[in-house]
């Protein structure tokens, strides 16, 4: 009995540490994102120039995510989380200094460092989350991602408050960068050593692995397609929702921005409650239900020319996309050996959607209007609903197979 209690306590501490590691990036990201207008003015760049500066974040994020699978296998989750969080803090401080110096190039470099830290730690945190789910024997990864959403809400609130008090943007970024150091140092002690490292000895003992490599695994490809669709829908709301409400439904700029809160609320509620629904029903049922809610919300915004309906529909949009990342990450780790590589492949699919989505929808919106441009998002959500069975747990697939033989 005495041996069980410490293990349970260690797992609980590990879980809360992961909650912190998801919350802090959300806080950091929202902190600088809410100051974007002030950042653009401080750097003295045009809107197009600001787009080029922000591209540093995309470059850093993709670089980090593409290397993350190999890094986890080589150094383990603890080391990669610690180094990723260190890069996140470094990037935030560089961005603060860049604003003080009014240097667009230095700010873009800071964003790249920040993105590399977040991208490289993404897989490590999700691998840890999947392991904790197994230890606790219940679904907690969606709640971990919910803490990221909660972090964005807190960060946005702080950002709006400091903006109202005319607090300098560079001071804001420097304070947040310094503030997150202590919780990172404390939380990392709860993450065990050696998790995620590849076991070459075990690989040598079992050279004839029955699972295909990840690039030939149809189930993994379908899971990647689901996360691409969900991430595309999430990124579309993040980038275009306020403008969609202003141009497409006649909201004023302030109301259009406030509508985004409804989407974020839907995301947060979905992630904090999703684990209960997944354990009670199944991953397939929940993915399909989320996709259908997203289809309904986006469809109402496209086809119903009513401001009130559009305002309510964004909550469905948020709920529909809330479990895309956490649920597909859990599913990817179950598809076969080498979970770190498989999780990184699926995560990369999501990041590709975040990269491709904004310019594609911007191009279509300029020629056909943003409401019609969202037909692309709607179509992808339909695809996600149709292939939802790809996220089934291996035990569920075996049960379905046996039931089919009995019939």
Q: Tell me the pLDDT tens digit for each residue of 49-64.
A: 777 887 788 788 888 8
* Whether pLDDT at 175 is above 50: yes
240 token code pair: 């275009």
How confident is the prediction for the chain on average, in pLDDT? 83
Please give the average per-residue pLDDT across 243-255, as a whole number: 72
Residue 10 CB neighbours (<10 A): 13
Please give the average per-residue pLDDT across 104-118, as a whole number: 94
Which CATH fold topology does 217-401 show? Growth Hormone; Chain: A; (1.20.1250)
Higher pLDDT, 239 or 273: 273
Q: What is the pLDDT of residue 226?
A: 93
Please give the average per-residue pLDDT across 57-86, as a whole number: 88
* Residue percentage of the chain with pLDDT more than 90: 35
Confidence category of residue 2, pLDDT binned at 50, 70, 90: very low
Within 125-226, strands assigned E span: none
100-104, 194-198, 396-400: which is most confident: 100-104
Q: How crowded is the C-beta side of 359, counted as CA atoms within 13 Å? A: 9
Q: Tell me the pLDDT tens digit for each residue of 5-46.
A: 448 888 899 999 999 999 999 999 888 887 887 888 899 988
Confidence category of residue 107, pLDDT binned at 50, 70, 90: very high
Q: What is the pLDDT of residue 395?
A: 58
| Residue extent(s) of CATH 1.20.1250.20 domains in the chain | 9-196, 217-401
Confidence category of residue 203, pLDDT binned at 50, 70, 90: very low
Confidence category of residue 1, pLDDT binned at 50, 70, 90: very low
CATH for the 9-196 domain, from 1.10.10.350, 1.20.1250.20, 3.40.640.10, 3.40.50.300:
1.20.1250.20
Instruction: For residue 43, report the phi and psi dihedrals to the nearest 5 degrees.
Output: -80, -10
In this prediction the pTM is: 0.78
DSSP 64-105: HHHHHHHHHHHH-HHHHHHHHHHHHHHHHHHHHHHHHHT-HH
* Whether pLDDT at 238 is above 80: no
Cβ atoms of residues 226 and 328 within 8 Å? yes
Q: Which residues, in sequence order, are CB contacts of 89 under 8 Å at separation 6+?
A: 117, 177, 180, 181, 184
Q: Give the torsion through C-alpha atoms of 235, 241, 243, 248, to 10 deg.
A: 120
96 token code pair: 């603060």
> Tokens 């080589």 correspond to what residue?
74
Q: What is the pLDDT of residue 3?
A: 39
* Whether pLDDT at 251 is above 90: no
């Amino acid at each position: 009995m005495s041996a069980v209690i410490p293990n349970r306590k260690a797992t609980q501490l590990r879980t809360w540490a992961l909650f912190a590691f998801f919350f802090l990036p959300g806080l950091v990201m929202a902190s600088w994102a809410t100051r974007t207008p002030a950042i653009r003015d401080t750097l003295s760049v045009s809107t197009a120039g600001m787009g080029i500066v922000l591209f540093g974040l995309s470059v850093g994020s993709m670089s980090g995510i593409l290397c993350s699978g190999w890094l986890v296998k080589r150094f383990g989750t603890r080391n990669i989380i610690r180094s990723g969080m260190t890069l996140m803090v470094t990037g935030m401080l560089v961005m603060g200094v860049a604003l003080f110096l009014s240097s667009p190039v230095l700010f873009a470099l800071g964003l790249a460092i920040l993105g590399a830290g977040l991208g490289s730690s993404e897989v490590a945190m999700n691998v840890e989350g999947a392991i904790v789910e197994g230890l606790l024997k219940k679904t907690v990864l969606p709640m971990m991602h919910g803490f990221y959403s909660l972090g964005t809400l807190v960060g946005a609130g702080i950002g709006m408050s400091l903006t109202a008090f005319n607090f300098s943007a560079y001071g804001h970024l420097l304070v947040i960068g310094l503030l997150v150091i202590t919780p990172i140092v404390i939380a990392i002690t709860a993450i065990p050593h050696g998790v995620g490292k590849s076991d070459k000895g075990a690989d040598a003992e079992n050279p004839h692995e029955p699972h295909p490599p990840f690039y030939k695994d149809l189930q993994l490809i379908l899971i990647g397609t689901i996360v691409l669709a969900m991430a595309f829908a999430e990124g579309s709301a993040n980038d275009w929702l306020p403008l969609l409400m202003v141009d497409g439904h006649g909201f004023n700029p302030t109301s259009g921005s406030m509508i985004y809160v409804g989407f974020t609320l839907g995301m947060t509620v979905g992630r904090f409650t999703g684990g209960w629904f997944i354990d009670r029903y199944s991953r397939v049922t929940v993915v399909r239900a989320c996709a259908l809610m997203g289809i309904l919300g986006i469809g109402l915004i496209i086809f119903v020319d009513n401001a009130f309906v559009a305002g309510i529909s964004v909550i469905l949009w948020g709920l529909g996309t809330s479990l895309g990342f956490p649920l597909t990450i859990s599913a990817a780790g179950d598809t076969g050996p080498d979970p770190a590589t498989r999780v990184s492949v699926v995560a990369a699919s999501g990041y590709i959607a975040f990269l491709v989505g904004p310019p594609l929808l911007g191009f279509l919106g300029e020629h056909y209007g943003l409401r019609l441009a969202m037909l692309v998002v709607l179509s992808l959500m339909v695809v996600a609903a149709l292939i939802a069975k790809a996220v089934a747990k291996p035990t569920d697939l075996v049960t379905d197979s046996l039931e089919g033989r009995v019939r």
